[in-house]
Amino acid sequence: MKNFAVIGLGQFGSSVAKALSERGCQVLAVDIDEEKVQSISGFVTHAIQLDASDEKALKNIGIEDIDTAVVSVGGNLEASILITLLLKEIGIREVIAKALTPQHAKVLQKIGVDRVVFPEKEMGLRIAESLVSPNVLEQIKLSSNYEIVEITAPSGFIGKSLKDIAIRTKYKVNVIAIKKKEPNINEAGETEFKEVLNLSPTGEDEISAGDILIITGEVANLEKLRKEK
């Protein structure tokens, strides 16, 4: 199990720390503000108040044992850069840092950060995407040109097999999995719907109403598929 440190417990940092904990990860939450530390202590493995720009203080809490660190310091650019630099020098395997401006991002990249995130921008793009393509449930960007997306099966696909739909030929994308809701009788004799994931769909697999397709391909080709009704 990977160990994470989240440094800076504002809205973004707290959300990341809680989400990681909910997924069973070991999370060390750090902030200079005692109130923020106390407010998250019940959600994470460890919550510690300290100045993360102090190298000695970081080493004293065993930061070198962390696999991934997320730097989410608020409006203090100098602190953000210094903390990121210290983490890289200490030897943290992966450092992800929140950037406030493009200039901030450039500096973070220069000092070797593994990934820069713009939370507000990325959330704005996700909201816009959900408004334009409401059938898209989730998307993961693999590169500037390729994505994995989850979409609700378009009505035109219902009752047809993947071979009949000819997704690969028509859209030049690949269905890598299908999520289905299948009825299941529980101990009380009641019908429940259990999610079943087909990780190796074949051309003979038929699409049913409510199915979720997990698809990978070039962004331009996925865009054509998203427009299907």
Question: Quick check: helix, strand or coil at residue 26?
Answer: strand
Number of structural domains the chain divides into: 2
- Indicate if 31 and 70 belong to the same structural domain: yes
Q: How many CB atoms lie within 10 A of CB 150?
A: 16
First CA to last CA distance, the chain: 41
- Determine the structural domain holding residue 76 and report its residue range: 3-118
Give the CATH number for residue 52. 3.40.50.720
- Indicate if 72 and 143 belong to the same structural domain: no
Q: Select from 74, 92, 118 the last residue of a domain.
A: 118
User: How does DSSP classify residue 10?
Assistant: S
- Indicate if 90 and 153 belong to the same structural domain: no
User: Partners of 184 in the beta sheet?
Assistant: 192
More confident residue, 206 or 224: 206
Q: Do the domain assignments include residue 124?
A: no
- Indicate if 10 and 107 belong to the same structural domain: yes
- Indicate if 78 and 183 belong to the same structural domain: no
- Indicate if 16 and 105 belong to the same structural domain: yes
pLDDT at 71 over 90: yes
What's the whole-number average pLDDT of the chain? Answer: 85
pLDDT at 64 over 50: yes
- Indicate if 96 and 19 belong to the same structural domain: yes
Q: Smallest Cα–Cα separation from 151: which of 81, 78, 224, 76?
A: 224
pLDDT 10s digits, 23-62: 788 999 999 999 999 999 999 999 999 999 999 999 999 9
Q: For residue 64, what are its two tokens?
A: 């070198």
Give the CATH number for residue 163. 3.30.70.1450
CA–CA distance, 16 with 10 (Å, rounded to integer): 10
More confident residue, 76 or 63: 63
Q: What pLDDT is stored for residue 131 in this prediction?
A: 46
- Indicate if 73 and 146 belong to the same structural domain: no
Q: For 19-173, where are the E strands, in sequence order? A: 26-31, 46-49, 68-71, 94-98, 115-117, 136-141, 146-152
pLDDT at 211 over 70: yes
**Cα-Cα-Cα-Cα dihedral sign, residues 166, 168, 169, 171:** positive
- Indicate if 151 and 75 belong to the same structural domain: no
Alpha helix stretches (DSSP H) within 91-205 = 102-110, 119-132, 162-165, 167-171
Q: Select from 95, 118, 141 the last residue of a domain.
A: 118
Q: What pLDDT is stored for residue 140 in this prediction?
A: 66
Q: Do the domain assignments include residue 123?
A: no
pLDDT 10s digits, 82-126: 999 999 999 999 999 988 888 998 999 999 999 888 876 565 545
Q: Select from 118, 146, 164 the last residue of a domain.
A: 118
User: How does DSSP classify residue 89?
Assistant: H
pLDDT at 203 over 50: yes
Q: What pLDDT is stored for residue 4 in this prediction?
A: 93
pLDDT at 1 over 90: no
pLDDT band at 148 (very low <50, low <70, confident <90, very high): confident
pLDDT band at 229 (very low <50, low <70, confident <90, very high): low
Q: What pLDDT is stored for residue 142 in this prediction?
A: 65
- Indicate if 78 and 178 belong to the same structural domain: no
Region 63-68: mean pLDDT is 93
Judge whether 28 and 45 are in contact, CB under 8 Å: yes
Region 60-89: mean pLDDT is 91
- Indicate if 158 and 212 belong to the same structural domain: yes
pLDDT at 143 over 50: yes
Residue 4 burial by Cβ neighbours in a 10 Å radius (0-12, 13-18, 19+):
buried
pLDDT band at 219 (very low <50, low <70, confident <90, very high): confident
CA–CA distance, 179 with 181 (Å, rounded to integer): 7
Q: What pLDDT is stored for residue 127 in this prediction?
A: 44
- Indicate if 64 and 99 belong to the same structural domain: yes
Q: Do the domain assignments include residue 172?
A: yes
Q: Do the domain assignments include residue 126?
A: no
CA–CA distance, 58 with 30 (Å, rounded to integer): 10
Q: What pLDDT is stored for residue 23 in this prediction?
A: 79
pTM recorded for the entire structure: 0.59
